[in-house]
Amino acid sequence: MTLTPTSLCSADGCCSGGEVIESLGPNCDSLRSRMALTQVSSNKCAGGFQKVFEHESVELKCKMKFAVYLPPKAETDKCPVLYWLSGLTCTEQNFITKAGSQLAAAEHGIIIVAPDTSPRGCGIEGEDESWDFGTGAGFYVDATQEPWKTNYRMYSYVTEELPKLINANFPTQPDRISISGHSMGGHGALICALKNPGRYKAVSAFAPICNPVQCPWGQKAFGGYLGSDRSTWEAYDATVLAAAYSGPQLDILIDQGRDDQFLSASQLLPDNLIAVCSEKKIPVVFRLQPGYDHSYFFIYSFMSDHIKHHAKYLNA
């Protein structure tokens, strides 16, 4: 069943996408279908609704699911949006069932959008071979190498297609968005914020991969998606991007479990990012949390601090 956009929005017609389509004439039908969403599930949660939708993605050229949490405030007012990027092997489900974000989102009146971590079912050879490359490991880049470059365009999906889709279908304040994520998603959040100065009102991360060009995960993924020319990798490395950043002031909150096995395996490398940010005077508060690991138990423990951090800027 396809739900038309109007049934999901408030009466004053926030479906700017729909209105734009009307004026486009003959192409409007196909465009409208591209903006169309299919609701997969809906559960009442913390006074609002945790929903999952599916759509045909233009960038990724496949069906994609994403989760949306609508706080109680969304019934009457437009709300700011927090984009959450999950880590390796995750789908849109992990965050909404394990992170405990809904209560804080409801309290602060924030919509949280959580996409999947890669295109799925594209039938690319080798996509399911490793858990840290291919399916579930999009690394939020736009691939330039075959056979990945047609579908693996997560960077554009997250920064372009998804926000347009969200703004067309939900009661949002389009200029009030922020971004966060965990591990590979933390890397995604940092690079999106650094590559789009002024676009995101706030950014935070849990155990992010801070310097992918220097760690095994990053080298494997970038090598596969971007080729062997390392200079092309730097455009997607938070530490490198921070060193060259110029734009409106950021305020980055990072939580890292001290007992995180990937920290000790030198996959995350937060010290490199901190050193660069200290040098470049980019405000970061980095908290090393004793006893915590890499799991969603760790994320759950500090999620409300992060949402408060985002709310400060989104609701200002």
Partner 1 sequence: MEANRGGRTFQRFSVDTNESLHFEPCEDTPSSPTGIEHDEDNVFMKEENESEMTSIRTRLQGKVAEMENFAGHLEEIFLTVEENFGRQEQHLEQHYNDVLQTLSQRHNERAAGLLEEKKSKMEALYNQLLSCGQALDASKELIETAQEIYRTPDKRVFLKTVIPIIKRIEMFAKEKVELTLSTKLEFETLPADLSDVKTMMDSINAIPAPSAPVINPQMSNSATQTSLRVCWSLFSDDTVEYYDLYYRPVLEDTPADGFCAPHVTTVKVKETHCTVTDLLPNAQYELWVTATNTTGISPAMIKQRECTSCPDAALIRWESGNTNPVDSYTVELSEMDTDGTQSTVTESIVAVPTCQCLIQLLSGRRYLISVRAVNVGGPSDKSDPVYISTSGTFFYFLEETAHPCLSISEDGFTIFYGDEELPISAMALDDSAFTRCVAILGDLIPVRARHYWEVEVDEGTEFRIGVAYEDTERSSYLGVNASSWCMRHILSSSRHKYEFLHNGWSPDLRITVHPVRIGVALDYERGTLSFFNVNLEQHLHTFQCHFRNYVQPCFSLDNPGSLTVHNAIEAPEYTFI
Which residues carry out catalysis?
Answer: 183, 260, 294
The Cβ-side half-sphere exposure at 126, using a 13 Å CA radius, reads 8
Of 6 and 278, nearer to partner 1 (C-beta) is 278
Task: Determine the residue type at 216.
Answer: P
- Asked if residue 211 lies in contact with residue 218, where contact means CB atoms within 8 angstroms, the answer is yes
When binding is defined by CB under 8 A, the residue of 56, 286, 301, 304 that contacts partner 1 is: 286
Q: Answer yes or no whether residue 291 interacts with partner 1 by CB under 8 A.
A: no
Q: Answer yes or no whether residue 288 interacts with partner 1 by CB under 8 A.
A: yes
**Binding window for partner 1 (CB under 8 A); candidates: 25-33, 47-55, 172-180, 286-294:** 286-294
Q: Answer yes or no whether residue 249 interacts with partner 1 by CB under 8 A.
A: yes
**Binding window for partner 1 (CB under 8 A); candidates: 73-81, 159-167, 174-182, 275-283:** 275-283
Residue 147: CB minimum distance to partner 1, A: 40
The radius of gyration computed from the CA coordinates of the chain, to the nearest angstrom, equals 19
Q: Answer yes or no whether residue 244 interacts with partner 1 by CB under 8 A.
A: no
Q: Answer yes or no whether residue 245 interacts with partner 1 by CB under 8 A.
A: no
Give the distance, in angstroms, between the CA of residue 36 and the centroid of all CA atoms in the same chain: 20
Nearest-CA neighbor of 236 among 294, 279, 193? 193
The sign of the CA dihedral 288, 289, 291, 296 is: negative
d(CA 86, CA 90): 6
Q: Answer yes or no whether residue 287 interacts with partner 1 by CB under 8 A.
A: yes
Q: Answer yes or no whether residue 43 interacts with partner 1 by CB under 8 A.
A: no
Q: Answer yes or no whether residue 154 interacts with partner 1 by CB under 8 A.
A: no
Residue 16: enclosing H or E segment and its boundaries? helix 16-22
When binding is defined by CB under 8 A, the residue of 3, 258, 261, 300 that contacts partner 1 is: 258
Residue 284: CB minimum distance to partner 1, A: 4
Q: What share of the chain is helix, strand, coil (3-state, %, to 5)?
A: 40, 25, 35
When binding is defined by CB under 8 A, the residue of 173, 214, 289, 301 that contacts partner 1 is: 289
Query: Which ranges in 125-284 belong to alpha helices (H)?
Result: 154-156, 162-169, 184-195, 216-226, 230-233, 238-243, 261-264, 270-280
**Binding window for partner 1 (CB under 8 A); candidates: 81-89, 113-121, 175-183, 284-292:** 284-292
Residues forming contacts to partner 1 in the complex (CB under 8 A) are: 249, 251, 253, 258, 274, 277-278, 281-290, 308-309, 311-312, 316
